[in-house]
Amino acid sequence: MNKTVQNLRVLSNIQLNRDHHLLELQAPVKLEQIAPGQFVNVRVEKSQSTFLRRPFSIYGVDYEKNTMSLFIKDVGPGSHVLTSTPEGEEVDVVFPLGNGFSFPENNKRILLVGGGFGIAPLLFFAQELTKLNLKADIHALVGARTADDLMELDSFAQYGQVYTTTEDGTHGLKGRVTDHSVLSDNLQKFDGVYTCGPEPMMKAVAAKAAAADVFCEVSLENTMACGFGVCLCCVTETTSGHQCVCTDGPVFNIRDLKW
Amino acid sequence: MVDLRVKIGDLDLKNPVMTASGTFGYGVEFEDFFDLDRLGGFVVKGTTLNPRQGNPYPRMAETPSGMLNTVGLQNAGVKYFCEHIYPKLVKYQTNVLVNVSGSTAEDYAECAEQINELEYIPGIELNISCPNVKEGGMTFGTSCPSAEAVVRAVRKVYKKHLMVKLSPNVTAIDEIARAVESVGADSVSLINTLLAMAIDAETRKPVLSTITGGLSGPAVKPVALRMVWQVAQAVKIPIVGMGGIMNAADAIEFMLAGASAIQVGTAGFVDPLAPVKIVEGIEDYLVRHKIESVTDLVGSLQL
């Protein structure tokens, strides 16, 4: 759909753990097709110390309820105001922004690798792949610091096989996602790897995919002001020069990045 | 009915609201949000003779009531602009100005000369005030002789409206304004961003890749207002005011201080609809104050 600025009503605000919230927002206009990997830029009205909007990946869209969900980690004054927004209040959102993950052809085996709240667009991707009946064989590798930080595993499990790692060993393999055998052994068995999370994690995943010559897309999260390609602040180095993460991305094929 | 039309020299604007270079892309990026023809005009991003990759990431820092940027004039060059961007701009029924920058006076002139050939571009905004490039940019705008030299070089080859964008990073902006007026500038626009800096205490590093950058947003508005006021006392050519304008009241304050028109910049990042909301807000203000023409506001500060 075209980019738009709308006041969306908070239908629900669920605290998932100590610092993560899931906000379901209802739109006054009919939501048209939104691609997994696209993001929104949310205005933080009641914050004294912030000025700019805050970008978030879209976590899911329910076209029947006309809602979209955002997965928000409370990391600073801006996100704190948003995670504190009560049901019934409105938030000013610019959406949908950016590109999205490339859909594979039918019957492909794909691996999603998510770290922390980087799982948001990957879960949306898995949801859409299943809805579109692409018969994808979905595998999801999710990493976090502790078991408490691992969220929405049940949701991933609806769509495919789930593997986990935690840094303290409280769930799944002790270590990081890149220590997991699914990324080490025979990565070529996958037709594509899609990753979102902290940049060092994505770089490590991209290096493994590149070494195995497997198609790999990453979702970047550079700091930005506008979100629609006019401030030119969120650039990343690509083989064709500086490109905006907000409009040329946030999803990039690793072949095009200078990583 | 109130009359929103203004003139900036020979430029006719349907209303005094323009958008600022470097915050509005090539205009087309805003098409989903509103009809660009509702604006008095818009200034497309800084264009240079040769393509520029701009500065490395990170280029942005959020600050209290504003932000810093260090984009460094990333653009594909004037040739690309003329061949690929300009054809997309000819449909607009509003004033589309091109912001022109360079490293030498010759670069500025050559770039302006090429834009002079574009039928539907009625003017350029000469950027002698970019704080984020190593050569040229702001260095031209911070002394009277260098400002005069670059404006003179461009004036020789550029036949249409020549607006000169001034830097606030000077001791006496009114003197720079007088200098560029004396060598043929048709108008001045001000202010560009204020040279500034952000540091991350945790990492003990500068936030921006270039250490310093340009501050914009509401934080700079009082400085900008003061400078527009000073320049209004110094020159006869029209002034286009900008610096932290977020709403119609801000815009009107600049007009009271002496600006014939205004530009909206950083506000468009926070609210892409800000430029058109400001047009509507100015109209409401005129109705509320029973003022027939927006031009009656210009320089009408009650002392």
A29 in reach of chain B (CB within 8 A): no
Number of A/B CB contacts below 8 angstroms equals 93
pLDDT grade, residue A151 (50/70/90)? confident
B59 in reach of chain A (CB within 8 A): yes
**Measured CA distances, A125 to A42, A66, A198 (Å):** 21, 18, 18
Q: How far is B56 from chain A (nearest CA, A)?
A: 8
The predicted pLDDT at position B106 comes to 94
B30 in reach of chain A (CB within 8 A): yes
The predicted pLDDT at position A259 comes to 87
B127 is in an annotated binding site: yes
Domains of chain A: 4-97 (2.40.30.10), 109-219 (3.40.50.80)
Contact (Cβ atoms closer than 8 angstroms) between residue A66 and residue A31: yes
Q: What is the pLDDT of residues A71-102, one digit of tens each?
A: 999 989 999 999 999 999 999 999 999 999 99
Q: What is the pLDDT of residues B27-45, one digit of tens each?
A: 999 999 999 999 999 999 9
Q: How far is A2 from chain B (nearest CA, A)?
A: 6
B69 in reach of chain A (CB within 8 A): yes
Report residue B63: phi and psi, to 5°: -135, 170
Q: Match 């087309």 to its residue by tokens.
A: B28
Peptide bond between residue B191 and the one before it cis (omega within 30 degrees of 0): yes
B70 is in an annotated binding site: yes
Catalytic residue among B82, B111, B130, B144, which? B130
Summarize the confidence of residues A6-16 as an average pLDDT.
96
Of residues B215 and A17, which shows the higher confidence score? B215
The predicted pLDDT at position A1 comes to 87
Q: What is the pLDDT of residues B230-281, one digit of tens each?
A: 999 999 999 999 999 999 999 999 999 999 999 999 999 999 999 999 999 9
Encoded tokens for A191: 């037709």
Low-confidence winner among A151-155, B158-162, B289-293 (lowest mean pLDDT): A151-155
- Report the DSSP pairing between strands A137-144 and A160-166: parallel
pLDDT grade, residue A50 (50/70/90)? very high
The predicted pLDDT at position A185 comes to 81
pLDDT grade, residue B164 (50/70/90)? very high
Q: DSSP assignment, residue B207?
A: S
DSSP readout, A156-197? HHHHEEEEEEETTSSSSEES-GGGSHHHHS-GGG-SEEEEES
Contacts of A43 in chain B (CB under 8 A): 270-271
Active-site residue flag, B82: no
B269 in reach of chain A (CB within 8 A): yes
B46 is in an annotated binding site: yes
Q: What is the pLDDT of residues B109-136, one digit of tens each?
A: 999 999 999 999 999 999 998 887 877 7
Summarize the confidence of residues A169-195 as an average pLDDT.
94
* Chain A residues 108-147 within an 8 A CB cutoff of chain B: none
A226 in reach of chain B (CB within 8 A): yes
pLDDT value at A7 more than 90 = yes
Summarize the confidence of residues A111-139 as an average pLDDT.
94
B60 to A3: CB separation less than 8 angstroms, yes or no: no
The predicted pLDDT at position B132 comes to 78
Residues linked to residue A137 through DSSP beta bridges, in sequence order: A109
Phi-psi region of A37 (alpha: psi -120 to 50; beta: other; left: phi over 0): left
Low-confidence winner among A46-50, A249-253, B58-62, B181-185 (lowest mean pLDDT): A46-50
The predicted pLDDT at position A48 comes to 81
Q: Where are the domains of chain B?
A: 6-297
**CA B115 to CA B97: how far, in whole Å?**
10
> Which distant-in-sequence residues (6+ apart) come within 8 Å of B19 by Cβ?
B27, B30, B39, B41, B42, B43, B263, B264, B265, B268, B275
> Which distant-in-sequence residues (6+ apart) come within 8 Å of B83 by Cβ?
none
**CA B230 to CA A175: how far, in whole Å?**
63
Contacts of B54 in chain A (CB under 8 A): 232, 235, 242
**CA B221 to CA B236: how far, in whole Å?**
23
Nearest CA in chain B to A224: B60
The predicted pLDDT at position A98 comes to 98
pLDDT value at B200 more than 90 = yes
Summarize the confidence of residues B67-76 as an average pLDDT.
97
pLDDT value at B197 more than 90 = yes
The predicted pLDDT at position B52 comes to 96
B210 is in an annotated binding site: no
What number is the ipTM of this complex? 0.95
Q: How far is B210 from chain A (nearest CA, A)?
A: 13
B290 is in an annotated binding site: no
B270 to A53: CB separation less than 8 angstroms, yes or no: yes
The predicted pLDDT at position A46 comes to 82
Burial (CB < 10 A; 0-12, 13-18, 19+), residue B105, is: middle
Q: What is the pLDDT of residues B237-251, one digit of tens each?
A: 999 999 999 999 999
Contact (Cβ atoms closer than 8 angstroms) between residue A178 and residue A205: yes
Instruction: Select from 3.40.50.970, 3.20.20.70, 3.10.129.10, 2.160.10.10 the CATH code of B6-297.
Output: 3.20.20.70
Q: How far is B42 from chain A (nearest CA, A)?
A: 13
A234 in reach of chain B (CB within 8 A): yes
Mean pLDDT across chain A? 95
